[in-house]
Amino acid sequence: MLRTHTCGELRAVDATVPVILCAWVHRRRDHGDLTFIDLRDRYGITQIVASAKDQPEAHAALKDVRSEWVLRVHGTVRERPAGTRNDKLATGEIEVVASTVEILNEAKTPPFYVNEETPVDENLRWKYRYVDLRRERSKDLMRLRHEVTTFIRSFFVERGFWEIETTMMIRSDPTGARDFVVPSRYYPGKFWALPQSPQQLKQILMIGGIDKYVQIARCFRDEDPRADRIYELTQLDVEMSFVEPKDVMSITEECYTQVFERFAQKPLHRTPFPRLTYDEAMRRYGSDRPDTRFGMELVDLSEAVRGTSFAVFKDAVARGDVVRAIVVAGKAGASRKDVDGWAAVARTKGAKGLVSFAFAGSEVRSPVAKFFTAEELERIRTSSGATNGDLVLAVASDDHTASASIGTLRAHLGEELHLADASTHHFLWVHPFPMFERTPGGGWTFSHNPFSGPLSEKDAALVETDPATAYSTQYDLVVDGNELGGGSVRIHSRALQEKVFQVMGISKEEAATRFGALLDALEYGAPPEGGIATGMDRTVMILAGLASARETIAFPKTQTGYDPLLDAPAALDPAQLAELGLKVETKPGPR
């Protein structure tokens, strides 16, 4: 080893010990004939000192040294003179008196500060990620992620789970997200796909008798990235044989309770985690991942407005649609501009408009006030639970659109008005879910996962007779309004799996082509089994209180999926293309 100690470990008891430290120059303080260097590595910062009088050789060497140079310092640990200790440093009671200073490497002036917490343009941060990773914030996030991952892995391993690596090159299946694909050289014209998740593989592992599987698995989804959605995500992937939903939920809950108690910056609001059905979540919060850190639950005004002369509401109720609303406490004074902005939010989820009622003293201000009698307005007030000074925002639409648009508005207002309890983390389960949801074309698609089993025998029967009313074993784990993950107990009969595909308009033949391996496996003794997958990037992001998942990974890409560090993606040279049997028709873009 080039060093005897790290920069984080020396204390007063080490005084007089000869040491060799190797690390980066964090800061230099030059007092002329006395020079201090803060030497920094992953472990901490240690002050190096050299004086012209007593350590002339080291002192001379330090004259030229600059920030981020890499040094090897030979010296002796000394307790700092009285009055010069630094309580802010773990090593603040000592300093290393340098005898010789070797320069292992010089460094250009860094493109941004390593020793300060200023925000930096992400393009620059990712391009110089090796500099960025030296920053305390980035380093702490890498450590947090490492510790959380290690903890979770041990948690499952201690409970009898085997970590098994599944293949990264699989068959493309264009359901769900777009696949990232890899051309095959040996089979020209054919392609591998990178897995969106190891879903089918882990089910096949259960059929193989592995019994309990865990993997911190990389998954790839070629959809436009967002702050909390990246191309390459890492998920905690778990599967167990001979289980019911409560078994998977219970071990997941135990794991996440421990993870958050150990690593979060604030306590859990409540354990055990509350449970909402999908229907209740939609009815009360207008979301299948409700943020329960604040109230403002949805209210139904359909009955209250049934007899009014306001056609939008009256006609909606008459045709079986609903009027849903939220009460924004104390916002009766909101401006027209505010309300217009909120209406735009509601419209993004399909609302045709947004009607406001401001209850200010004896007066009710609303753009549509003239269509309502005083009694009707009072009925709206009482059935919404609004009190003086409150603002009621209402949408008329079909049940799902009304809930979803008001729910989105609720989430938006929660952010805008800082309504959420910031002192605790609110976990909850959403379970069960409907098995199917409507496609825009009027058909059916799976609500989460085509392999999710029906909740009961009754639901299994409904798959054929009335898919709309069939419930699945699906459970989602939600924290602070974020979907952390989800899973289900799987279908373990080929016949039922094929029936489910059929409802979704996938024929037996098509299913056999796309999901052949799994369907065949189901005929060779498939156990009842289930599992869950949760997002590790999101987990770390929430633990660290970040708004973006990009910082939680070592080598992030930009929002357009560009990697500034490696300058990727990049064109292939013609020889590579030829070998793969590929011809590129689109000219590469500006990059």
Partner RNA sequence: GGUCCCGUGGUGCAGCGGCCUAGCAUACGUCCCUGUCAAGGACGAGAUCGCCGGUUCGAAUCCGGUCGGGACCGCCA
Stretch that binds RNA, among 147-155, 418-426, 555-563, 565-573 (CB under 7 A): 555-563
Q: State the nearest-atom distance from the C-beta of 578 to RNA, in Å.
A: 28
- Which of 19, 22, 49, 193: binder of RNA (CB under 7 A)? 49
Our finding on whether 314 is near RNA (CB under 7 A) is: no
Binding mask 90-119 for RNA (x = CB under 7 A): --x--x-------------x-xxx--x-xx
Stretch that binds RNA, among 45-53, 271-279, 284-292, 426-434 (CB under 7 A): 45-53
DSSP 82: T
Q: State the nearest-atom distance from the C-beta of 555 to RNA, in Å.
A: 13
Nearer to RNA, 52 or 133 (CB): 52
- Which of 14, 38, 41, 132: binder of RNA (CB under 7 A)? 38
Apex 252 CA angle, 250 and 254, nearest 5: 70
Count of residues interacting with RNA (CB under 7 A): 73
Stretch that binds RNA, among 5-13, 29-37, 259-267, 460-468 (CB under 7 A): 29-37
**Cβ neighbours of residue 319 closer than 8 Å, sequence gap 6 or more:** none
Residues 480-539 close enough to bind RNA by CB under 7 A: none
Please write down the HEC assignment for all residues of 4-55. Answer: CCCCCCCCHHHCCCEEEEEEEEEEEEECCCEEEEEEEECCEEEEEEEECCCC
Residue listed under structure tokens 């409560």 = 246
Our finding on whether 52 is near RNA (CB under 7 A) is: yes
Residues 416-445 close enough to bind RNA by CB under 7 A: 440, 445
Residues 349-368 close enough to bind RNA by CB under 7 A: 349
Whether residue 159 contacts residue 254, with contact meaning beta carbons closer than 8 Å, is answered with no
Whether residue 383 contacts residue 304, with contact meaning beta carbons closer than 8 Å, is answered with yes
Nearer to RNA, 116 or 509 (CB): 116
Our finding on whether 376 is near RNA (CB under 7 A) is: no
Q: How many CB atoms lie within 10 A of CB 122?
A: 17
Q: State the nearest-atom distance from the C-beta of 34 to RNA, in Å.
A: 3
Binding mask 213-252 for RNA (x = CB under 7 A): --------x-xx-xxxx-----------------------
Our finding on whether 257 is near RNA (CB under 7 A) is: no
Our finding on whether 36 is near RNA (CB under 7 A) is: yes
DSSP 178: P
Stretch that binds RNA, among 13-21, 85-93, 461-469, 512-520 (CB under 7 A): 85-93
| Max CA distance (Å), the chain | 95
- Which of 42, 72, 74, 85: binder of RNA (CB under 7 A)? 85
For residue 578, the cross-strand partners are none
CA atoms within 13 A on the CB side of 287: 22
For residue 391, the cross-strand partners are 328, 358
Residues 169-208 close enough to bind RNA by CB under 7 A: 175-178, 196-197, 199
The DSSP secondary structure of 519-586, one letter per residue, reads: HHHTTTTPPPEEEEEEEHHHHHHHHTT-S-SGGGSSS---TTS-BTTTTBS-PPPHHHHHHHT----S
